[in-house]
Structure 1
Amino acid sequence: MQPVLTNDRMKRADRMTIESGTPSLVLMERAAEAVVAELHLSFDLRRVLVVCGQGNNGGDGYAVADILRHQGINVTVFAPCGTPQTPEAIHQAHRAAKSGVSVTDNPELATYSVIVDALFGIGFHPPLPEAAKRFFIAAHRAGVPVLAVDVPSGVGATDCDDAAPVAAVTVTFAAAKPQHYLYPGAFHTGRLVVAEIGIATDTADIFVSTADDLRLIPPRRADADKGKFGKVLAVVGSADMPGAGYLAAKAAYRVGCGLVELFGDRTTTRTIGAMLPEAVLRPDAFSDPQKLLSRAASVHVVLAGCGLGITPTRKRAIGALVRQAAVPLVLDADALNLFGQNFPKADVPVVVTPHVGEFHRMTGLSVAEIKRDPIGHAREFARKTGYTVLLKDARSVITDGATAFINPTGNCGMATAGSGDVLAGIVAGLIAQGAKPFDAARLGAYLHGAAGDLAKQQRGEYGLMASDISQNAEIILDRLNEVLR
């Protein structure tokens, strides 16, 4: 996993580093050196335009220009919003001027090979000033590639100006920021480079999952039987949506679960069982919640909701399950819709896997509010209920109310019917094998996205189906098992 620092935590870490004895100008020089190194690696430096702001992000830009000038590179500074205002930026601007860096008020964009965007940093709040908007719109039309310093100008912590540049590369410092991964900022970030400049990141409480985290999935013993790999009780499917139950149950098997039992009405369990002969059928009515609780007592995890449908008897049964079950629960789709905004307390770990629309119904927040701060809202719900939240979106967020993870895998081809059912099955299958529920949620999201990325390579985004994701999950696990273990 890799640390992610919010704007406030980054400022705090920066301040602590300075107070511990590293001058701010030294940090600025290190940042500039990292930017220059990336410029040499990735861009044509025939003629460089550095766009500088008035604050310390602009100071980074002036320091970049100064270094490039000393390297004999043709570099020009453009300051569309005025002269530097902070002591550090003023110092760096004076150094650049003393080195002979030229300044322009009207850059001919077509003559530059790369633009360094050092106008606004992570503290920016949209909208962009008109002068900056005009410049970035013109730069986009000219087709000049952009390297953004820390964050593309116009990208805020929770929103983004439409005129913000789409960077080819963003060089940030110490740690990634949430807006690098969460949309709409992710649209503008390009390839992200995190440069180490001597700022500690041990205050981070947000992380990005990585493939190496899959080491947390319990290893498989060569002498184990199916009981060692866990049992899932899948309370899924209905007459209208048996496929959702099938996809979820199959996904649990695909990630290594030893046994899946299907609980539901006789017609639905038989329908799913015909598609998935490996499943054990436990047909029963929902009218007596004790029957469901009895079955739940004999497994390692219960998966409920995928295609389940909403009826009064099912609502009572799932409510009893949440209040009285003795094993972890994974609740998806209709198991979430059943409760509205009144989720009961549970004595066992509960993982909920809503998409943004379901989370809107669960919280009363608008979709726009959720998308502006998915980490904050998911955390609040997790703290209130005690559940682990896997909030599904183009960049899913996973949190237990304290620590949060952003999942970096996946693609828009996965926005297809059944994809969420596969994810819920993966999470349940990992819990059955002994993964902690919070770990299963974040690792399941990573694995689900990686399997979808492989499916994109195989089929493209247009023809990708949920069953492709499920099938590829086992391939991803086996590949990573060879590398990581």
Structure 2
Amino acid sequence: MISIKGMKKLEEHCVLHGITIQSLMESAGKQVASIIRKTYDPKKVLVVAYHGNNGGDGFVAARYLMKRAVVHVAFLGKREKCGKEARINLKRLPKIVRVFKKIPILNSYDVIVDAVFGTGIHGSIKQPIASAIKAMNAAKAKRVSIDVPSGYDPDTGKKANVAIHPDMIIALHDIKKGLMKFRKKTVVLDIGIR
């Protein structure tokens, strides 16, 4: 189990030793896609993403998932607000991947990937994200959260005004200390952080 402060220190250590955030993101997204394929073998996937590195992980996962499934991306943010690595991975999405600016009708998806908020969530969730999370929770599709279910504080486990109800959490490096109540739903990935 790890805190957000501990995770940030490990990421900084990686960067100091020549491991880029981009390579960590690539590793994370590729492995997330592999776990989703092995667990659910989906035919149609929606990745819901926002500006940060969690969104970047989702964009990478979308790229790998499209090899065996129809993949759509609902990017709920603005490109200019993306971090450098997330922006690079958004641009790398092939033209075949449809990118929506809002949540589409969800009844045709087998899996919804929650790549909205990761370790950087603060305070209550505002619109249009709050409505998107409610729609994702109401869908029949399996909900897979990358690292942290959007709406939960990863250090305390405190739930915001709205939060994803995950079927699975794919934790990057280690389960976050506030999310131990989800440990039975969590798969931990080694993404190369040392």
TM-score by length of 2: 0.91
Contact 1:166–1:190 (CA under 8 A) maintained in structure 2: no
> Could you list the per-position Cα deviations for residues 44-96 of structure 1 after superposition, in whole angstroms to 9, with x for gaps in the alignment?
41110001110111000111111122x14200000223335100000000001
Query: Percent identity over the alignment?
Result: 30
Structure 1: segments with no counterpart, 5+ residues:
201-485
How far, CA to CA, are the matches of 1:26 and 1:141 in structure 2? 34
Over the residues paired in the alignment, what is the CA RMSD in angstroms?
1.6
- Provide the rounded CA distance (Å) in 1 between the counterparts of 2:17 and 2:62: 28
Residue 35 (structure 2) pairs with residue 38 (structure 1): yes
Local SS of the residue matching 2:186: strand
Secondary structure at the counterpart of residue 114 of structure 2: strand
Instruction: State the partner residue of 1:115.
Output: 112
Q: How does 1:13-412 map to 2 (within 5 A)?
A: 13-69=10-66, 71-83=67-79, 85-96=82-93, 98-104=94-100, 105-156=102-153, 157-158=155-156, 159-181=158-180, 186=181, 191-200=185-194
**3-state SS of paired residue (1:109):** coil
Contact 2:28 2:189 in 1 (8 A): yes
Displaced runs of 4+ in structure 1, greater than 3 A? none
Structure 2, unmatched stretches of 5+, are: none
2-structure distance, mates of 1:33, 1:85: 20
In 2, the alpha carbon distance for the partners of 1:49 and 1:106 equals 9
Matches of 1:127 and 1:15, distance apart in 2: 28
| 1:170–1:190 Cα contact (<8 Å) kept | no
C-alpha separation between the residues in 2 aligned to 1:130 and 1:136? 10
Larger Rg over CA atoms: 1
The alpha-carbon deviation at position 171 of structure 1 amounts to: 0.6
Pairwise CA distance, 1:145: 1.5
CA–CA distance in structure 2, aligned partners of residues 100 and 31 of structure 1: 22
Alpha-carbon deviations, 1:161-197, whole Å to 9, x = none? 242111111011111111111xxxx36x761111011
What is the number of residues matched between the two proteins? Answer: 190
In the alignment, the residues of structure 2 paired with residue 167 and residue 106 of structure 1 have an alpha-carbon distance, to the nearest angstrom, of 17
Q: Is the 8 A contact 2:173 2:191 kept in 1?
A: yes
**Aligned AA (1:197):** I
Q: Which structure is higher in helix share?
A: 1
Letter paired with 2:51: Q
TM-score by length of 1: 0.38
Contact 1:109-1:139 at 8 Å conserved across structures: yes
Measure how far apart 1:148 and its partner are.
0.3
Q: Partners of 1:107 and 1:169 in 2: how far apart? A: 22
The structure, 1 or 2, with the larger RCO (C-alpha pairs under 8 Å, 6+ apart) is: 2
Distance 1:81 1:154 in 2: 16
